[in-house]
C-alpha cells in the first residue's frame, strides 16, 4: 500500500506545541508560538478560520469571546476588527481569568506586543525565520460552512511560501488536519502530496479496522481513544499509518504514547514533555 511507505514513522516521537506553548502563554498568539520555538518544539499546531474579508486567522473557537477582549464570530468580523482586539488579556499566570476580572498584565509582560490576532501568514513567516526546521500542523475548523474557501485560501497561502506541493509527504514541513474528511479530501484533490491528518474525538465502529479516509496517512486520535483502545492504535500502525495524539499533557500519557510507538504528541507543554523525553 502506497501510503504505508510514504507515511513511514519518524525515528523519534515528535513534540508538537498545541496552539503554541499554550500552557504558559495565551493560545494562538505570537507569544505562544515564539515560546514553543524557544522551548525546542518540533512542530506547532494551529487552528484556522476565515474572517469576513477572507483572511485566515489562528483562532480555535467560532467566536472570539473566550480568548480576546472582544465579542462576535470570526466569520462576521474583518481582519481590521480583529486587529483592534487583544488576545492575551484573558490569560493569567494561574490560568484563564473570567471576563469580569481585570487582565493580569504581570503575565509575561515582554509578550505585550505579541498578543494581537495572529494571521496564518504571520505564523508561516515566524516558522520560515525560525533558523531550524519547525513543522506546522494546520487544522481547518468547520470548513463545510465555507464550502471549500478555507482550503482554497490555505493552499494559495502555502503556495506563496513554496509549501503547497512537497515532492513527497514525508518531506513536507506542513500538514493539514481536520475532523472533517471532506476538508481533507479537498486538500488532497488540490495537492496530493501534502500530508493530511484525520482527527478523531471518539472511535466510531466504522473506523475500527484501522483504515482512514482514502489517501489519508495519519490518524489524529484523542488521548482518550489511545487510553481506552490501545489495540486500535496498533491496528492503525499495522495498516501503515502514522498516529498523532492530542492533547497529551500528563506524564503518564506521554509514557503511554512512547510505549505504543506514537509518532507525534500534541501538547500544551512542549518544554515539560521534551524534558520528560530527555531532550
Ligand atoms: O490537534 C488536534 C486538536 O487540537 C483537536 O482539538 O479542539 O483542540 O482543536 P481542538
Ligand atoms: Ca486544534
pLDDT per residue as tens digits for the range 117-168: 999 999 999 999 999 999 999 999 976 666 799 999 999 999 999 999 999 9
Question: For residue 249, is it within any domain?
Answer: yes
Active site (annotated) includes residue 18: yes
Residue where the block lists cell 501568514: 121
Counting as low any pLDDT under 70, the low residues of the chain are 1-10, 91-112, 143-146
Closest-approaching ligand to the CA atom of 247: 1
Closest-approaching ligand to the CA atom of 179: 1
Q: Residue 71: how many CB atoms within 10 A of its CB?
A: 11
Number of domains observed in the structure of the chain: 1
The catalytically annotated residue of 1, 2, 7, 18 is: 18
Active site (annotated) includes residue 1: no
**Most distant CA pair in the chain: distance in Å?**
56
* Residue 58 in grid coordinates: 489562528
Q: Which atom of ligand 1 is nearest to the CA of 19?
A: 4
Query: Which CATH number covers residue 232?
Result: 3.20.20.190
Question: For residue 35, is it within any domain?
Answer: yes
**H or E segment and range at residue 18:** strand 14-18
Predicted confidence at residue 208, as pLDDT, reads: 85
Angstrom CA distances, 200 to 67, 166, 217, stand at: 24, 25, 14
Question: For residue 102, is it within any domain?
Answer: no
Domain that holds residue 20: 2-63+121-276
Predicted confidence at residue 142, as pLDDT, reads: 74
Question: For residue 82, is it within any domain?
Answer: no
Question: For residue 9, is it within any domain?
Answer: yes
Q: What share of the chain is helix, strand, coil (3-state, %, to 5)?
A: 35, 20, 45
Cα(9)–Cα(261) distance, rounded to whole angstroms?
Answer: 9
Global pTM reads 0.92
* Residue 155 in grid coordinates: 493552499
Beta carbon of 265 within 6 Å of any ligand 1 atom: no
* Residue 30 in grid coordinates: 505570537
Question: For residue 105, is it within any domain?
Answer: no
Please tell me the residue having the least CA distance from ligand 1 atom 2. 246
Beta carbon of 139 within 6 Å of any ligand 1 atom: yes
217 neighbors 251 (Cβ within 8 angstroms): no
Question: For residue 244, is it within any domain?
Answer: yes
Question: For residue 73, is it within any domain?
Answer: no
* CB-count exposure of residue 142 (10 Å: 0-12, 13-18, 19+): middle
Predicted confidence at residue 12, as pLDDT, reads: 92
Amino acid at each position: 500500500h502506497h501510503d504505508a511507505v510514504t507515511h513511514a514513522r519518524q525515528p523519534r516521537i515528535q513534540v508538537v506545541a498545541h496552539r503554541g506553548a499554550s500552557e504558559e502563554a495565551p493560545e494562538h498568539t505570537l507569544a505562544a508560538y515564539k515560546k514553543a520555538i524557544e522551548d525546542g518544539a518540533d512542530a506547532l499546531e494551529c487552528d484556522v478560520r476565515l474572517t469576513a474579508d477572507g483572511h485566515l486567522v489562528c483562532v480555535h473557537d467560532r467566536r472570539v469571546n473566550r480568548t480576546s477582549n472582544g465579542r462576535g464570530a470570526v466569520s462576521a468580523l474583518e481582519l481590521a476588527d480583529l486587529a483592534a482586539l487583544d488576545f492575551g488579556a484573558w490569560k493569567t499566570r494561574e490560568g484563564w481569568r473570567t471576563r469580569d476580572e481585570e487582565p493580569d498584565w504581570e503575565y509575561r509582560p515582554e509578550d505585550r506586543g505579541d498578543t494581537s490576532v495572529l494571521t496564518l501568514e504571520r505564523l508561516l513567516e515566524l516558522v520560515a525565520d525560525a533558523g531550524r526546521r519547525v513543522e506546522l500542523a494546520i487544522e481547518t475548523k468547520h470548513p463545510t460552512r465555507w464550502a471549500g474557501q478555507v482550503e482554497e485560501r490555505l493552499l494559495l497561502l502555502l503556495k506563496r511560501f513554496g509549501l503547497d506541493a512537497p515532492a513527497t509527504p514525508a518531506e513536507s514541513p506542513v500538514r493539514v488536519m481536520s475532523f472533517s474528511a471532506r476538508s481533507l479530501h479537498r486538500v488532497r484533490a488540490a495537492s496530493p502530496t501534502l500530508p493530511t491528518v484525520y482527527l478523531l474525538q471518539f472511535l466510531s465502529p466504522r473506523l475500527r479496522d484501522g483504515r482512514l479516509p482514502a489517501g489519508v496517512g495519519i490518524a489524529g486520535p484523542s488521548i482518550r481513544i489511545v487510553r481506552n483502545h490501545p489495540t486500535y492504535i496498533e491496528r492503525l500502525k499495522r495498516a501503515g499509518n502514522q498516529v498523532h495524539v492530542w492533547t497529551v499533557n500528563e506524564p503518564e500519557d506521554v509514557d503511554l504514547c512512547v510505549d505504543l510507538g506514537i509518532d507525534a504528541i500534541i501538547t500544551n507543554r512542549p518544554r515539560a514533555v521534551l524534558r520528560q523525553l530527555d531532550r
